[in-house]
Amino acid sequence: MYPNLKKSFVLLIVLMVQLSHGQKQQLPEWRPGFLDIHHINTGRGDAAFMVFPDGTTMLVDAGDMSETHPRTTSRRNAKLVPNRSKTAPEWIVGYIDQFLPNKLERKLDYALITHYHDDHFGEVDSLRKLAPGGYQLTGIMEVGTLIPIKTLIDRGFDYPIDLTNEQVQSKERFTKDAYGMVPTLEEYWKFIQVQSKQAGLVNEALVIGSNNQIRLQNNPKDYPGFSVQNIASNGNIWTGYDDTFYALFKKGEYPGENPLSNVIRIDYGKFNYYTGGDISGIDGFGQTDMNALESYVAPVIGAVDVATLNHHGNRDSQNPFYVRTIRPRVWIQQNWTADHPGEEVLRRITSKKLYPGDRDIFSTIMLQGTKDVIGGRLDLYKSQNGHIVVRVYNNGDTYKVYVLDDTMEERKIISEHGPYKAR
């Protein structure tokens, strides 16, 4: 028997024996040509680590809600996982270290912050440690101190209001903000300044309409079908043509952080993936809001294979027009509280009246309060807990979804789904 064939046969037998005994397996190592999207669950907010087909890396968000808030420590919110021996950013970096391909330099080529809320970029408090550069360690600031970031992309600071302006900062909505967005931004600006000098970090605002701001860094010519399309930022929305866009908000008009979220679509051959921070599409009376971000971006996003739920699946998101327009095969819910998802959101994303065909839903965590409300609809989920990995194969033709154990540092496979065929 040929040596390589014999080795493969032995490995297959070992794998079959392990599976028959219920032993969990590690996620097979990334290889060139794979697109990996890891939705990391820490219980403290969003974080998605990506390895592009040529080994270019990106982290989208690094949520880190403060442990000093009653909501964070209550039964309403998720626990810090896998345990409290490390901070959420330390767990994120540990995850990256485990799944960063061995041959790649230990760095993040890109980090993208969708908007300035604690569950997306961090929150300062009296318990945070100080970095040698004098800034507090939280969220993306702690991640970027532990692992170098080459390019840090956010929504900028001067539109629709100038967040660096002291008069703006003195407004009541910021001075009485219980979650300290402005104080956290001040630490974020210190972090950028220090890391720019020490590690060469470059900070940029998302360029609406661009498909080469975030690009392959290693072997781009090998993967001409890959791109990251910037859809929206600060309420400025790509028209779908060239790099032109239009604005929903005027200078000086501040609708809150969520509608200002950065929105992107990742394309790899036939495969399309969407993520858009905390934009929403349902008004205060529970009706479809055709003037909200979801309604405007949906036609530009178009149909996708995989989509993350906007605003964690909060009841103000996933309006019917939006759901019908992007109609993903796979929905991914990144959440941390019993509010996620709204039961009515689940009705919309599973409705065959809005769009036909199968769809699978995966959640990073489902709290007991949510389960009690949703009841029998829990059966609509393929998975209710764990890190969710989308792995795209064959130049974007097929993909699988792996759910990894978030209770242990080994992060072994709990379940495997697919293969799905990209549309």
Q: Are the CB atoms for 93 and 144 separated by under 8 Å?
A: no
Q: What's the chain's average pLDDT?
A: 95
Burial call 37-49: b when 16+ CB within 10 Å, e when fewer: bbbbbbbbbbbbb
Is it the case that residue 269 has pLDDT exceeding 80?
Answer: yes
Residue 12: predicted pLDDT: 42
Residue 103: predicted pLDDT: 86
Is it the case that residue 244 has pLDDT exceeding 70?
Answer: yes
What is the tens place of the pLDDT at every residue in 48-62? 999 999 999 999 999
- For 325, phi and psi rounded to 5 degrees? -80, -45
The DSSP annotation for 112-135 comes to E---S-HHHH----TTPPBPTTS-
What is the tens place of the pLDDT at every residue in 136-160? 999 999 999 999 999 999 999 999 9
Is it the case that residue 366 has pLDDT exceeding 80?
Answer: yes
Residue 23: predicted pLDDT: 79
Is it the case that residue 170 has pLDDT exceeding 60?
Answer: yes
Query: Tokens at residue 153, please?
Result: 């992309």
Residue 9: predicted pLDDT: 47
Residue 11: predicted pLDDT: 43
Is it the case that residue 116 has pLDDT exceeding 80?
Answer: yes
Residue 15: predicted pLDDT: 46
Query: Tokens at residue 205, please?
Result: 């605002």
Residue 22: predicted pLDDT: 63
Query: What residue ranges define each of the domains in the chain, with the CATH number in brackets?
Result: 3-421 (3.60.15.10)
What is the tens place of the pLDDT at every residue in 377-420? 999 999 999 999 999 999 999 999 999 999 999 999 999 999 99
Q: Are the CB atoms for 216 and 56 separated by under 8 Å?
A: yes
Spacing of C-alpha 235 from chain mean position? 19
Is it the case that residue 324 has pLDDT exceeding 90?
Answer: yes
